[in-house]
């Protein structure tokens, strides 16, 4: 199924408040979804007869930010973080991407993580993907059954794939730089 | 047919206590079964038939630190793993030796600058006897490192209570052991 058709179906089902633009002049077209309606959209595209996206290939987090002030002028994105859902259908053999954009910090307060509803109730594999995304990019998935760090130690500070992340000087007495 | 066969028929061998002990220990360095990343694949190749680490008496990989003499730290040591490496080292009985195998364990390797979670050299965690550089080192390099450990054992002055560091030499014999 073509991404434009899927976009039309989702627009009809959820309206423009929930489903945003679908740029299709790129290699990997995607559909922008509002954070609060991602669980509904995910459940819909999984269960709908025409789509049957029964497989979540991957769930990525992405930080759009340029910490260097000189380079920041040329940086043509608003600072934000994104969650990307790579979906495919095993029965209908087609693929799609969904994207959710949220501000880098909740309420612009540095240190408080932005919130995205968890889709681990829709695709069970999202459990670990979301834990990794939380661990490294720092996105809080609300409604997740077990949102703990998965790669870094539990007492690690910060989220390492944030562009403005500073490496710790030492970790439990081990020099780190 | 080994080199020792037919040489000592019905004879008495005179040697020193420490030479006999060191000879025994250097010929049975049991490493710990312990691999952290890709270097462990090369360590396994060293243990397999082509390179055959058993020729040096070091082929008995022990599954517990309490039976091991040698820890080959093969692979990237992360901050999360460092405390476990330290604990394993402390559980080994003396005398114990450590080989830092590969660029990551020698000094952080490719993760030195941007790896937020990699210990910049395992010598920040445990004392290292021999560094084997390479990414990953060839099995020959690891065997060379093992021979340097053997040199180190050979030089131990057990009965005199002093130890001298050997001068490594590519022949496999150290300069002090004339």
Please state the ipTM of this predicted complex: 0.74
Q: Name the residue ranges covered by the structural domains of chain A.
A: 3-175
| Alpha-carbon span A10 to A19, nearest angstrom | 7
Min CA distance, A111 vs chain B (Å)?
A: 19
Question: Does B171 have pLDDT greater than 70?
Answer: no
pLDDT band at A142 (very low <50, low <70, confident <90, very high): very high
> Cis peptide before A168, with omega less than 30 degrees from 0?
no
Question: H/E element holding B147?
Answer: helix B139-154
- Report the candidate in B44, B45, B70 with the shortest Cα–Cα distance to residue B57: B70
Tell me what pLDDT residue B140 has. 93
Q: What is the pLDDT of residues A46-80, one digit of tens each?
A: 998 888 999 999 999 999 998 888 888 888 888 89
Q: From the CA atom positions of chain A, what is the Rg in Å?
A: 18
- The answer for B 57-86 residues in CB contact with A (under 8 A) is 79-80, 82-83
User: Does the domain made of A3-175 have the CATH classification 3.30.460.80?
Assistant: yes
Min CA distance, B68 vs chain A (Å)?
A: 25
Cβ A174–B125 below 8 Å, yes or no?
yes
Tell me what pLDDT residue A135 has. 92
Mean pLDDT computed over A126-146: 92
Pairing outcome for strands A55-64 and B97-101: unpaired
Cβ A175–B116 below 8 Å, yes or no?
no
A171 in B contact zone (CB under 8 Å): yes
B117 vs A160, A172, A177: nearest CB: A160
Among A8-22, A44-58, A129-143, the minimum mean pLDDT is found in: A8-22
Question: Does B38 have pLDDT greater than 50?
Answer: yes
Question: Which residues in chain B belong to E strands, given as ranges?
Answer: 70-74, 97-101, 130-132, 156-157, 162-163
Mean pLDDT computed over B72-94: 90
Question: Does B66 have pLDDT greater than 90?
Answer: yes
A176 vs B80, B83, B120: nearest CB: B120
* Angstrom distances, CA of residue A174 to CA of A58, A138, B55, B121: 34, 24, 37, 10
pTM, whole model, 2 decimals?
0.79
């Amino acid at each position: 199924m073509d991404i434009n058709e899927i976009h039309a179906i989702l627009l009809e089902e959820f309206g423009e408040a929930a489903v945003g633009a679908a740029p299709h002049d790129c290699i990997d077209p995607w559909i922008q979804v509002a954070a609060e309606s991602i669980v509904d959209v995910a459940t819909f595209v999984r269960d709908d007869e025409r789509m049957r996206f029964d497989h979540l290939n991957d769930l990525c987090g992405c930080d759009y930010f340029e910490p260097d002030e000189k380079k920041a002028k040329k940086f043509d994105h608003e600072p934000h973080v994104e969650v990307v859902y790579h979906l495919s259908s095993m029965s209908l053999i087609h693929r799609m991407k969904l994207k959710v954009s949220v501000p880098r910090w909740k309420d612009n307060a540095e240190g408080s993580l932005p919130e995205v509803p968890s889709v681990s109730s829709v695709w069970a594999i999202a459990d670990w993907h979301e834990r990794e995304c939380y661990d490294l990019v720092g996105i809080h998935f609300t409604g997740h059954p077990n949102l703990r760090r998965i790669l870094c130690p539990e007492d690690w500070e910060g989220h390492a794939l944030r562009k403005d992340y500073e490496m710790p000087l030492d970790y439990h007495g081990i020099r780190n730089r | 047919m080994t080199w020792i066969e037919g040489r000592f028929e019905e004879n008495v061998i005179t040697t020193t206590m420490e030479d006999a002990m060191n000879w025994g220990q250097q010929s049975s360095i049991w490493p710990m079964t312990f691999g952290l990343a890709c270097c462990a694949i090369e360590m396994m190749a060293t243990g397999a038939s082509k390179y055959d680490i058993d020729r040096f008496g070091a082929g008995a990989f022990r599954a517990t630190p309490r039976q091991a003499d040698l820890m080959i730290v093969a692979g990237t040591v992360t901050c999360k793993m460092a405390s476990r490496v330290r604990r394993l080292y402390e559980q080994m009985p003396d005398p114990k030796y450590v080989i830092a195998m590969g660029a990551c364990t020698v000094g952080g390797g490719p993760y030195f600058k941007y790896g937020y979670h990699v210990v910049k050299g395992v010598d920040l965690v445990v004392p290292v006897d021999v560094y084997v550089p390479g990414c990953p080192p060839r099995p020959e390099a690891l065997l060379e490192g093992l021979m340097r450990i053997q040199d180190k054992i050979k030089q131990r002055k057990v009965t005199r209570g002093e130890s001298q560091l050997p001068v490594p030499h590519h022949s496999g014999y150290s300069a002090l052991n004339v």
